[in-house]
Chains A and B, each alone.
Chain A
Amino acid sequence: MTNSLLYIRNLSKSIGSITPVKGISFELERGSCTALLGPNGAGKTTTLRMLAGLLSPSGGEIQYEGGGKSGRDWQKRIGYLPQYPKFYGWMTGMEYLIFSAKLSGLSGAQARKRSLEVLDTVGLREAAKRRIAGYSGGMKQRLGIAQSLVHEPSLIMLDEPVSALDPIGRREVMDLLSRLRGEVTILFSTHVLHDAEEVCDRMVVMVDGRIAEQGSWTELREKYRQPVLLLEVEPAAREEAWLRTLPGMPFVESADIRSRTAALAVRDLDQARNALMREMSDSRIRFQRIEAGTSSLEDMFMKVVGG
């Protein structure tokens, strides 16, 4: 038996004539934190809804460790937070958590005890007796995470937990996720690479219903590490025209040319550096800045997503 908690094989979903998820496979390790990354409309939400048992897959299978092929018993061991969590505004935070816990099969006393615990975890103890209608966006999001934890699930799935929040609310939720790491397996979707990098150790990049790339950060950094030369020139017509000739140079693998800057991905840094210096002195280019470095994950993400 491997240490995987969840296997997904060839999962797909068609809704009418569109197919938001076109056959994806991945697995989640117990205790890991995985980011489901992708641009808007990549099928992240549909995937999570299928995993939470809200939508039935059109094809493929979802298999939870120890469980059968159906997710029914598993719903008790999953915590799910939708992208736009909606609560009953007339309930208090505490009442909502107790209600949720009871729905997942906890007894009255247990539900109360666990609700107080998770309220402490997410820092909403003071607001516990207030109506949810009066909560701020960040508080609602934290309450959403609290309800996903209240029944002590082994896996929590969070759909875009920080996308709709202001910087302070975002900080609160990210800190909370970092604290939860290790205690529970986390799968969360986001379209912000930086958020994924901050708390997760693995990621799955979805583009247009398919998995474009997956792996741990170190693996991916290794795989996509490429020397890059960054160049910035004086704002003048001659320099700008010269920049546009760069993609044709033999040492350039790929280039991103803006009006005054160029980012050149190269194979051999030393060789490229010499060639570029020679080129610049020959053409008497007035540069402002030259920088040598390696590509960031941001570049990798853009590359994978851009196709």
Chain B
Amino acid sequence: MRLFWVFFHKEVIEAARSYKWIWVPAVFLLLGVMQPVMMYYLPDILRASGELPPEAAALITTPPPEEIIASTLSQFSTIGLLVLVLSAMNIVAGERTSGTTEMILSRSSSVLTMMTAKWAATMSLLLLSFALGYAGAVYYTYQLIGPLEWGTLAGAGAVYAVWLAWIVTLLLPLGAVFRGPAAAFLSLGIAAALTLLASLLPSQLPWSPGRLSAIATAMLTGESSPTFAPALAAVLLIILSTVAASVLLRRRPLSAQA
């Protein structure tokens, strides 16, 4: 356990020295706040541009608060996820390709501890960023558009966070095999493929972790769908990824001799 904190502390400082604690949350906050503000002012902006016939302008109304939160989540799924993956892609791959693992692993044979600490540090950044962005979106939606139900919000947020978490966790085993950019590309590719598959074949793949983002959105708009199986699958995938990453790194701790 002491070793875990030593590694965790190192990861947190490393992220701080590369300003990850500032720019990743900032991106999420910006994305989160922009959506309700844009939606609120959109009718005014369109009217002010003056080229819209009044009949068409009347059709454009501010959507209900739940829908705004749902569209914020879809913003997080594209730009937010990309930023998270890019910020974390070198967390394992970088150590392996730069060769810093050689001296570290000659000291402590516990690759699993190291990997768990890396995972925990990445998750801390993820949760902080997402919480900040989500809170920003909720606050502005509440202020500008209308009230929201706290229970639904919390549930949808939690489900969505699990969705982000399993995709980012994929970077650990991929980083133990590939270089950083390749690992990032592959994890985004796997996420996109699973999400697409889950939406194409919803009845065949009720447990697919790729459905979690869709479930979160559905929860907000009041539809309910079984969350347990995909969430469990995501958690298992996270555990499996972390263990696999340690095994892979233990087996090949050194990149080809420089």
Partners in one complex: yes
Residues of A within 8 A of B (CB): 45, 49, 52-54, 72, 75-76, 78, 80-82, 84-88, 90-91, 95, 99-100, 102-105, 144, 147, 151
A90–B100 alpha-carbon span in the complex (Å) = 12
Contact A82 B104 (CB under 8 A): no
A147 to B6, CA, bound (A): 16
- Contact A80-B6, Cβ < 8 Å, known A86-B99, A86-B100, A88-B100: no
- Whole-angstrom CA separation of A103 from B257 in the bound complex: 24
Distance of A84 Cα from B100 Cα, bound (Å): 10
Q: Which of B70-119 contact A (CB under 8 A)?
A: 98-100, 102-109
Question: Is residue B3 contacting chain A, with contact meaning CB distance below 8 A?
Answer: yes
Smallest CB separation, B147 vs chain A (Å): 46
Interchain CA distance A102-B104 in the complex, whole Å? 11
| Cβ-based interface call for B1 (8 A) | no
Known: A82-B99, A88-B10, A103-B104. 6 other contacts (CB 8 A): A82-B103, A84-B258, A86-B99, A87-B103, A103-B3, A144-B103
List which B223-258 residues lie within 8 A (CB) of chain A. 253-254, 257-258
- Asked if A72 and B109 make an inter-chain contact with CB atoms under 8 angstroms apart, the answer reads yes
A87 in contact with B100 (CB, 8 Å): yes
Give the interface centre of A78, A82, A105 by most chain B CB atoms within 10 Å.
Answer: A82
- Measured between beta carbons, the chain B residues less than 8 angstroms from A82 are 99, 102-103, 106
Cross-interface CB contact of B102 among A54, A88, A105, A151, cutoff 8 Å = A54
Complex: chain B residue closest to A90, CB-CB: B17
* Total A-B pairs, Cβ < 8 A: 61
Residues of B within 8 A of A100 (CB): 103, 107
Q: Are A86 and B14 in contact (CB under 8 A)?
A: no
- Per-residue contact bits, chain B 148-177, to A (CB 8 Å; 1 contact, 0 not): 000000000000000000000000000000
Assuming the contacts A49-B254, A82-B99, A99-B6, asked whether A90 and B14 have C-beta atoms less than 8 A apart, the reply is yes
In angstroms, Cα B219 to Cα A175, docked, is 70
B49 partner residues in chain A, CB cutoff 8 A: none
In the complex, whether B204 has a CB less than 8 A from a CB of chain A is: no
Say whether A75 contacts B108, CB under 8 Å: yes
Q: Is the CB of A86 within 8 A of B106?
A: no
Residue B18 interfacial (CB < 8 Å): yes
Complex contacts, B99 vs chain A, CB 8 Å: 82, 84, 86
- The interface residues of chain B lying within 8 Å CB-to-CB of A105 are 2
**Smallest CB separation, A38 vs chain B (Å):** 15
Given A54-B254, A82-B99, A103-B3, are A88 and B106 neighbors across the interface (CB < 8 Å)? no
Chain B 131-157, CB-CB to A under 8 Å as 1, else 0, gives 000000000000000000000000000
Of the A-B pairs whose beta carbons lie under 8 Å apart in the complex, a sample of 6, sorted by A's number, is A53-B105, A80-B103, A88-B100, A102-B2, A103-B6, A103-B104
Contact of A80 among B10, B106, B108, B258 (CB under 8 A): B106
Q: Which residue of A lies closest to B5 (CB)?
A: A102
B10 and A99 within 8 A (CB): yes
Give the residue of B2, B6, B253 whose beta carbon is less than 8 angstroms from that of A54: B253
In the bound assembly, the distance between CA atoms of A100 and B13 in angstroms comes to: 15
Q: Do A88 and B109 touch across chains, with their CB atoms under 8 A apart?
A: no
Q: Which residues on A sit within 8 Å (CB–CB) of B17?
A: 90
CB nearest neighbor in A for B253? A54
* Cβ distance A13 to chain B, nearest Cβ, rounded Å: 13
CB neighbours of A49 from chain B (8 A): 254
**B255 smallest CB distance to A (angstroms):** 10
The answer to whether A104 and B103 touch across the interface, beta carbons within 8 angstroms, is no
Residues of B within 8 A of A80 (CB): 103, 106
- Expressed in whole angstroms, the minimum distance between the Cβ of A294 and any Cβ of chain B is 38
A86: which B residues are within 8 A, CB to CB?
98-100, 102-103
- With known contacts A84-B258, A86-B100, A88-B14, A52–B6 Cβ distance under 8 A: no
- B103 touching A75, Cβ below 8 Å: no
- Given the complex of chains A and B, what is the CA–CA distance between A52 and B6 in angstroms? 21
State how many angstroms separate the Cβ of B14 from the closest Cβ of chain A: 6
Please give, as numbers and ranges, the residues of chain B lying within 8 Å of A52 by CB-CB distance: 106
* Chain B positions within 8 Å of A91 at CB level: 13
Contact A75-B100, Cβ < 8 Å, known A90-B17, A99-B10: no
What is the CB-to-nearest-CB distance from B201 to chain A, in angstroms, rounded to a whole number? 41
Expressed in whole angstroms, the minimum distance between the Cβ of A70 and any Cβ of chain B is: 9
